[in-house]
Structure 1
Amino acid sequence: MSTESSPESGGKSLFSLQRRERLMEELRAHGAITVRDIAAKLGVSELTIRRDVNMLADEGLVSRVHGGATLPSPLDRSTAGRTTSHSYSIGMVVPSLDYYWPQVISGARGEAEVQNLRIVVRGSAYDAADNRRQVQALLDTQNIDGLIVAPDMGGEHGKELLRWLNALPIPVILAERRAPLEIPAHKLEWVATDHAFGAGMAVRHLWQEGHRMIGCLTDSTSPTSPHVVRGWTQAMNALKIPLEKSIHEDSAKLDNGDRAKHFDRVLELCRASGTTAMLVHSDTQAVAFVQHCVDRGVDVPGSMAIVGYDDEVAYLAEPAISAVRPPKSYVGKVAVQLMAARLAEGRMRPVHRVDLNPELIVRESSVGAPRVVMEEAL
């Protein structure tokens, strides 16, 4: 028996049709409905009503508005020229459209096509206030059913943003972010790279290459750097490398002149401590550090081995830089998979929080050269 002629499937289809007819009756009577009120009146989930509203809107029978629907308006052009009907619309807010995040967006869009979801992307900044503005714009104009966001979580503004996201009436998935323990964000789900694991891989790689003093150069303004530092610290402790004698420097907010002086100071500290390897986040910073070493006559990797983090441009350096590569495309892909499952299963589905491991891409900057004490090199 085919699905179309099955009595069971026919009953479900009739029920769905009757429910949408009730929606239209409410709209004709009142001119507008809210998802929350009509779900309570019909005794079904808000997600079910959103799906019904989306179907009716795709057929041109209603106009979607934030939180509900109205009778069609001649000013509504949201379905004009549409050739594909999507089951849900997902908003996505990321802090950059030109570094790291394009691959995350690409992964999300690819999976959205598989899941028959619509992705609406907005670029933001590393700023909690702007993150909230961009999310609010999606809520106000796009009638989204779920949200994937990479918010700035620093300071009180970041904490308040997380509380607000947690209280939204739609599912929220954090991308490359984890809510801190002090924020009771019990509804928020996330998918994030285990950057601490990646940093540990880099340290162990350098240890296996014969380095016994391994420093860390990071940017404290980046949300990734604290995890990199934590992984570096854990690996150093596991390898019994004394942290009190190791180099950990912050390269945040340095212009070209200050950066050169800063890198000179880092090299001086390396020379004094016998440090022969550095883990550098991000890899744009690693490229600049390699170039500075070359300018100062410090051979890479002979006198200084370097591993970058992010693997966006590390391969462009001379020599090419070994780098930890987060699975950026998969962060987007898994975020959409989590969202699709949440929308399909509703509140009965347990909250999911997923860590993905990065990989280490080994290139010339960290292997294949005899170790030379930096005093001799200089």
Structure 2
Amino acid sequence: MREPVDLRRRRILAAVQARGTARVRDLAAELQVSVVTVRRDVEELMREGKLRRGHGVVRSPLPAQELPEHTMADGDTVAVVVPERHSYLYETLHGARTVLDAAGLRVALHIAPQVPGAERPQVERALADGARGVLLAPRWRDPAAEEADHRWLAELDVPTVLMERRPPKGSALHAMDSVCSDHWYGAHLAVEHLVGLGHRRLVFATRDDSPTARTLRAAFAEIAGAHPLVEEWTWALSSSRGGLDHEPTDVPDLAALLRKAGATAAVLHGDVDALMLVQQLAEHGVRVPEDCSVVAYDDVVAGLASPPLTAVSPPKGEVGRVAAELMLRRLDGVPAEGARSVQRVELLPTLKVRGSTRPLLAQ
């Protein structure tokens, strides 16, 4: 005998309220009815305000703090793996979390320590704990470390999205979803800003510890080298983190380098190194921006400096949000014949003009 609709819906409500969340397909199996039937019931219960929809799950309308800690159903977790002590990527994490929380998915944060190959154990642990997908931002201090991760990442059997990382063309990860900032465009913004203020002799300084740093070094060289209004430019390390398997590279005295090059402006990756340069210049009687304009790259703490630093601001939170949205689409379970194409998304940075840059005065 078919179960009355009202009774079935009461059972659905009871199951969801007991767990906090439940998958439609699991409810259908428990009630021994079709997924279509449960979806119709859920739609009606949502119209009555008795249920809320998450991503692939049904949720209780009770506030999260009123639910017991164990109510998240098994498998309703997405792992986010980011490097230790990386405030830039923590902003990306928060962007991803807003999307995943709204979809009814729990974020399991894994911090990869500063040792080579640290991400793999964290990912394996997350998968052993039942994570349905992985959002990942490997440290990849050098190309060798990146290449070492390609094979095992390509063999993961859950949806995986890289954040702020762009695998090389033709690599094993070329066909993996990824979302990152267009750092070439960020370098372009910095150069055009300074050239527009009349600066013709520039110093660029980047770190040596990430794919972003390597991308920026190449971008600055390409853009400044081809720019008709840039008379002289030079590149140097802003700081060297070094790998644990080799000694940090010597970092030049940037204030001395600016004097030697006759440069009137500098772009530094990242914020802390730019702040340190401003302090170093002040110790040598060089005023920012009167004597030298400074642009930071990252915009995590640039606005807190004195003077507040003009900065290229990659869309850190937006990278996380878009990556999480890609993840949700993968978790939809689209049949193979209707599978979505792999996406390699690039988002454009913006320039935040503050007090550390000004037009070059006639000399």
Question: Which band: TM-score by shorter chain?
Answer: 0.7 to 0.9
Aligned to 2:173: 185
> 5 Å matches for 1:163-242?
163-240=151-228
Contact persistence 2:79–2:109 (CA under 8 A): yes
Alpha-carbon distance between aligned partners in 2 of 1:157 and 1:222, rounded to the nearest angstrom? 10
Residue 277 of structure 1: how far off its partner (Å): 0.7
Alpha-carbon distance between aligned partners in 2 of 1:166 and 1:279, rounded to the nearest angstrom? 36
Task: Flag the 1:14–1:362 CA change in 2: closer, same or farther, 3 A.
Answer: closer
Aligned to 2:238: 251
Alpha-carbon distance between aligned partners in 2 of 1:352 and 1:241, rounded to the nearest angstrom? 37
Residue 302 of structure 1: how far off its partner (Å): 1.8
Aligned to 1:295: 283
Residue 133 of structure 1: how far off its partner (Å): 1.1
Task: Flag the 1:214–1:100 CA change in 2: closer, same or farther, 3 A.
Answer: same
Residue 186 of structure 1: how far off its partner (Å): 4.4
> 5 Å matches for 1:114-125?
114-125=102-113
User: How well do the aligned residues superpose, as a CA RMSD in angstroms?
Assistant: 3.3
Ranges in structure 1 where 5+ consecutive residues have no aligned partner: 6-12, 23-50, 59-78, 373-378
Aligned to 2:310: 322
Indicate the SS of the match to 2:294: strand
Task: Flag the 1:324–1:126 CA change in 2: closer, same or farther, 3 A.
Answer: farther
Alpha-carbon distance between aligned partners in 2 of 1:17 and 1:305, rounded to the nearest angstrom? 64
> 5 Å matches for 1:120-135?
120-135=108-123
Task: Flag the 1:16–1:236 CA change in 2: closer, same or farther, 3 A.
Answer: same
Task: Flag the 1:242–1:363 CA change in 2: closer, same or farther, 3 A.
Answer: closer
Contact persistence 2:78–2:133 (CA under 8 A): yes
Residue 15 of structure 1: how far off its partner (Å): 11
User: Could you list the per-position Cα deviations for residues 281-340 of structure 1 after superposition, in whole angstroms to 9, with x for gaps in the alignment?
Assistant: 011000000000011001211221110011112122222111111111111111110000
1:349 corresponds to 2:326: no
Of the three residues 310, 325, 335, the one matched with 2:323 is 335
Deviates more, 1:174-183 or 1:246-255: 246-255
1:144 corresponds to 2:144: no
Residue 268 of structure 1: how far off its partner (Å): 3.1
Query: Which letter does structure 1 place at the counterpart of 2:28?
Result: L
Query: Which letter does structure 2 place at the counterpart of 1:315?
Result: G
Task: Flag the 1:149–1:371 CA change in 2: closer, same or farther, 3 A.
Answer: farther
Aligned to 1:360: 351
Alpha-carbon distance between aligned partners in 1 of 2:287 and 2:149, rounded to the nearest angstrom? 46
Contact persistence 1:247–1:270 (CA under 8 A): no
Alpha-carbon distance between aligned partners in 2 of 1:254 and 1:158, rounded to the nearest angstrom? 17
Contact persistence 1:221–1:252 (CA under 8 A): no
Ranges in structure 2 where 5+ consecutive residues have no aligned partner: 7-23, 34-54, 60-66, 243-247
Indicate the SS of the match to 2:332: helix
Deviates more, 1:122-131 or 1:187-196: 122-131
Contact persistence 2:134–2:159 (CA under 8 A): yes
Indicate the SS of the match to 2:172: coil
Query: Which letter does structure 1 place at the counterpart of 2:236?
Result: E
Residue 98 of structure 1: how far off its partner (Å): 5.2
Alpha-carbon distance between aligned partners in 2 of 1:280 and 1:163, rounded to the nearest angstrom? 33
Aligned to 1:17: 28
Alpha-carbon distance between aligned partners in 2 of 1:282 and 1:84, rounded to the nearest angstrom? 39
Residue 238 of structure 1: how far off its partner (Å): 3.9
Alpha-carbon distance between aligned partners in 2 of 1:351 and 1:91, rounded to the nearest angstrom? 20
Alpha-carbon distance between aligned partners in 2 of 1:144 and 1:20, rounded to the nearest angstrom? 26
State the number of aligned residues.
305
Alpha-carbon distance between aligned partners in 2 of 1:135 and 1:199, rounded to the nearest angstrom? 32
Residue 173 of structure 1: how far off its partner (Å): 0.2
Residue 366 of structure 1: how far off its partner (Å): 0.8
1:285 corresponds to 2:276: no
User: Could you list the per-position Cα deviations for residues 340-376 of structure 1 after superposition, in whole angstroms to 9, with x for gaps in the alignment?
Assistant: 011115441110111011111111111256365xxxx
Higher helix share: 1
Query: Which letter does structure 1 place at the counterpart of 2:131?
Result: I
Alpha-carbon distance between aligned partners in 2 of 1:210 and 1:122, rounded to the nearest angstrom? 46
Alpha-carbon distance between aligned partners in 2 of 1:356 and 1:272, rounded to the nearest angstrom? 36
TM-score by length of 2: 0.74
